[in-house]
Structure 1
């Protein structure tokens, strides 16, 4: 089938309108580039989200579920997860997964960029924390993050444009427990406005952040970047499902083929193409973009496209308290965070560490849910009422984001048999939790249990691995200096294809032990500023 050529002529084509795509569009459009972005989803308005409506908890289980396999919207593609203990989570639409994320706004620590040097595993990043620091600063102040300066876990007292959100009664209880143990905690930074900021109101504390912010207080990139980018001239095409990237007879990328909402195959041409489709969508497109020049997938001479998937296995340790702690009150962003056990201590039996976040536990329906392997009958009938009386408003979570080491057997491949609704091969995830991470999870679950008991919890309920927690999709097109062992350079430029850039979480060398959105956006800004500053050096010759 021949593709219909779009009439627009683009200097830069961006695939994906999420966290990194929004950063790229705003930076490049304001620098005078003709920018076109293809996004397979659509715009969402605050009133579209269920928070603040009676049915919000039910809607989050289906229409606003973070798993595309459960949500099954027209803009979604299925993911084969039969070989993974963790469900990948994402959202397709303007703003990408920032629409549904909790808003944790956490920087990686300096050690995260030097893992090989410090711990003898994985690899060092091709730049340092200090190299990325100004871009962290810029993005933090652009989006209106809320936080408190001076966290001793960091070497620099980086600032925030807004004061921290209130830690609430459950945050105060958690902090007292950590103080008893002499462990680090800090009022948590969030990409949620604590006061009015630019075009966004202050948080109303609905506690429904993970099903879309009903007021616009959360810093999703549809608010923070896309409106400004479009005003600067960027063109955003929604309902555009990219099938593959196209190349010329020299192997340079010429643009992308995509299917519009009517099923018409179109082609968007561009001088430079930027992939911002997340750690699963990006390798899917590269592997599907085979040609005579790239029989194993675009930009894949290293064989690493899709390899070294990192997901951050996540544990939840819940504590039940006698006192009413208002744990239904938002934001669902974190109240506290702790880096007490973040850095390597080899006496623990593993390397690297994890970040903790103290979270509320939502509305009544939350207390009927169960993890695979649990007896669902414990949550219904008479048990529901007794459980609700003991936990609603009195149940809080220490969540544990564990660093995931890069291992080549953890991968994204194309499913040989399944396709999406447009006939495009779907991704299949092959993922297992590594031995180092297993030991790390056990250690942190035990410590979080101690933290709850020190805070006065009457009961503790650990979930060692939460299946529906795969928000952080990283490492499948890693950056590096050697084309034999990496896919892109430190600025996201593909070693094999000089006019192709990748700027999402797939370029991560290591996963770090923190929520990655701040790092994804800082890395994207650094890469796109370098592209703009060197615009006359974007040769298409191989």
Structure 2
């Protein structure tokens, strides 16, 4: 097929849809879009193949329910199985998770590059990645959350941090003129958040590329050890019915950027041989603490996430940040039912949610689920990480009280529903059983990690799969360590470097 630029769902009656390009990129999120646009700017003909649908801003949902239905991967039903079942947050839509995240921009810390060189034998990335990150910041209009969009929750967080003498800041985000509508989780209907469906994907099309949507890839097609394309079925975004077969032939190479959960599964299903596929899964487990205030906070007025502190990144290993969630998700975090739950929800306007992300040292695995094409994540926190987890809750509680909260809602099974300032010490003995907490996994890493030695890595320092030709990985699955900061900027920087290296090969 020639001349097509965006091919959406095609009915089964269409037979096989075939496209031929120089490079095919699986996934349109931070890694996939950054790789695709770099390749296109280098003169290559590129196809982006995205499992999810393309939705414009006016079609973004208003509710969390709608976000799970329209934008999340399989209704957000992927969970990490361990001592507890914790949800994994990922999108399935054009633009990937950049559509539903808070667009937080943090440059890769210098100690990470040093760690990769020492432990993985991967050097020479720092200057190249940082140069791309500077460019990306210009192109995606990175700005500090403006005063008019900060909202009271973020202002209170800054007040609490200053009262405790913490080093903190208002976030820098890929947002152009944030209006503070608090809709990041549902997709920014104001189109202020610079998700990749608004910039790098359209630019790739404008440079002669082709985009397939509603097109989950079932396998990378190999001829011997050379990747020659990808194959799959279109899937209807509402009925989930299978449509036509598609085959995208790649004259020069395939970039897999399907996410930390899907990339290892796709590689394994395609017959790629490496004992490290699916190994070294890492994440930022986290939870929130509600602060209850006398005056209304209205946490969904203002930037969804606008304040952060990385003071505790190295010791004990935490990132603290604000997070506003809509009423239906707040209800899921409050104990009780019926009249009691309604009474507690009546306090919604007066509560602020601040959360921690643990720089966990625990590792897990990603495998194909039995009798399914879905990923199966096995992951749990060891005692040291659970102690970090508890310490994060203690810090957030102290911050709320320093900001003037009259009480906190810790959300820990077996503890009082609310704690006052003189009861914070009870958190020192909070349980270390992960089943006692309502938590999520965000900021995922690993599963196809990079390293010089094929015995301990899936890809090399250019994202090339060891032992294969024309097969690259360009998402967070290559990251071999827990960054301790939001990973989108690192993902985009690495993907840009890998695409440059492919063009130069």
Bin the TM-score by the shorter chain: 0.7 to 0.9
Closer, same or farther in 2 for the Cα pair 1:47/1:239, shift >3 Å?
A: same
Match of 1:475? 446
Q: Which has the higher strand share?
A: 2
Deviation at 1:228, TM superposition (A): 1.1
> Once the two structures are superposed, what CA deviation does each residue of 1:51-100 show, in whole Å capped at 9, x if it has no partner?
3xxxx35534x52574x3436xxxxxx74755463212222121011111
* 2:495 counterpart of 1:524: yes
Match of 2:158? 175
> Once the two structures are superposed, what CA deviation does each residue of 1:384-440 show, in whole Å capped at 9, x if it has no partner?
23x244x32321122111113263xx11111223x2xxxxx3221111113332121
- For 1:142-221, list aligned pairs within 5 A: 142-147=139-144, 166-194=149-177, 203-221=178-196
Match of 1:97? 97
* 2:282 counterpart of 1:310: yes
> CA separation in 1, counterparts of 2:126 and 2:407?
40
Q: Secondary structure at the match of 1:397?
A: strand
Deviation at 1:314, TM superposition (A): 0.7
Judge which range, 6-15 or 261-270, deviates more.
261-270
- For 1:297-446, list aligned pairs within 5 A: 298=272, 300-301=273-274, 303-332=275-304, 334-344=305-315, 353-362=317-326, 364-370=327-333, 375-377=335-337, 380-385=338-343, 387-389=344-346, 391-405=347-361, 407=363, 410-417=364-371, 419=372, 425-446=373-394
> CA separation in 1, counterparts of 2:361 and 2:113?
13
Match of 1:33? 44
Closer, same or farther in 2 for the Cα pair 1:124/1:210, shift >3 Å?
A: farther
Match of 1:285? 266
**Among 131, 134, 138, the residue aligned to 1:134:** 131
Q: Kindly indicate whether the alpha-carbon contact (under 8 Å) linking 2:151 and 2:302 is maintained by their aligned counterparts in 1.
A: no
> CA separation in 2, counterparts of 1:65 and 1:226?
17
> Once the two structures are superposed, what CA deviation does each residue of 1:245-265 show, in whole Å capped at 9, x if it has no partner?
12113x211111211345333
Closer, same or farther in 2 for the Cα pair 1:383/1:164, shift >3 Å?
A: closer
* 2:224 counterpart of 1:253: no
> CA separation in 2, counterparts of 1:88 and 1:428?
11
Q: Kindly indicate whether the alpha-carbon contact (under 8 Å) linking 1:109 and 1:129 is maintained by their aligned counterparts in 2.
A: no
> CA separation in 2, counterparts of 1:307 and 1:476?
5
Deviation at 1:131, TM superposition (A): 4.3
Aligned residues: 461
Judge which range, 169-178 or 442-451, deviates more.
169-178
> CA separation in 2, counterparts of 1:343 and 1:125?
22
Q: Secondary structure at the match of 1:313?
A: strand
> CA separation in 2, counterparts of 1:469 and 1:192?
25
Instruction: Structure 2: state its 5+ residue gaps.
Output: 1-13, 236-241, 413-433
Q: Secondary structure at the match of 1:264?
A: strand
Q: Kindly indicate whether the alpha-carbon contact (under 8 Å) linking 2:128 and 2:497 is maintained by their aligned counterparts in 1.
A: no
> CA separation in 2, counterparts of 1:476 and 1:406?
14
Instruction: Structure 1: state its 5+ residue gaps.
Output: 72-77, 149-162, 195-202, 291-297, 420-424, 538-542
Closer, same or farther in 2 for the Cα pair 1:476/1:367, shift >3 Å?
A: closer
TM-score between both structures, scaled by the size of structure 2: 0.84
Q: Kindly indicate whether the alpha-carbon contact (under 8 Å) linking 1:89 and 1:468 is maintained by their aligned counterparts in 2.
A: no
> CA separation in 1, counterparts of 2:492 and 2:110?
17
Match of 1:461? 409
